[in-house]
Amino acid sequence: MRTPLLAGNWKLQPLTRAEARALAAAVGSGARGIAGRDIVLAPPFTMLTTVAEAVADSPVAVAGQNLYWEKSGAFTGEISGPMLVDAGCRYVLIGHSERRQFFGETDYTVAKKVGAADACGLNPVMCVGETLEQRDAGVAMVVIEKQVRRGLVELTTEGLARLVIAYEPVWAIGTGRTASPEQAQEVHAAIRAVLREVAPRGIAESLRILYGGSVKPGNIDELMECPDVDGALVGGASLNADDFLRIIHFQESSL
């Protein structure tokens, strides 16, 4: 049984630290007593310590939205894994589609960052997904398989056991469009098939694969019925405490 993971990615939202503290505290309070799932918030870097303090007495963990693969050096504007750990992070998002689209992230840099996260004990959440053009061209699975295989080349076996993969159909992020449960399950099952080829026996079945792409309170229950959907990477809906709490309490009576 894989423990569902629900992660809220706040992206670059104009929250003050006071607003971030209030939002995180509301999520932390609403998550107290929850069982059978992991909860993560990924605020902007300037809010990491604020959010970590706000959720310190709750089941909610904190993630960075990115990291650089070197621990230190003349890399102006970057942040390292040890810095994230010191700020209270347990997870880090890597290779989000917006990083690939707008900031030149490649499978090579994703692999370097996944390895760096592993080296400092962070749980990497490696994002993969196809564009609408790639899906329409019938090469979505080819693209995703390459992203998965290439992203894991610098990961140790121990780090592989901590890995989380997030499938994000790029055409569904922030558009209001969501992959159907059947589409999500098809891709998640294909990702797990790749993992069975590259991971030691047993690890592929234990790795969590999240769905990300316009996840909302109204579609989370249906998505989580899919056997290979192990959670969600939530964008806009994670900025509203009530909406995100509804998402993390999905199908609660069935657990």
Catalytically annotated residues: 96, 168
**Longest CA–CA separation in the chain, Å:** 51
How many C-alpha atoms does 177 have within 13 Å on its Cβ side?
11
d(CA 67, CA 72): 11
CA of 236: how far to CAs of 129, 138, 162, 173, in Å? Answer: 18, 29, 26, 10
Structure tokens at 166: 């997030």
Answer yes or no: are the C-beta atoms of 93 and 100 closer than 8 Å. no
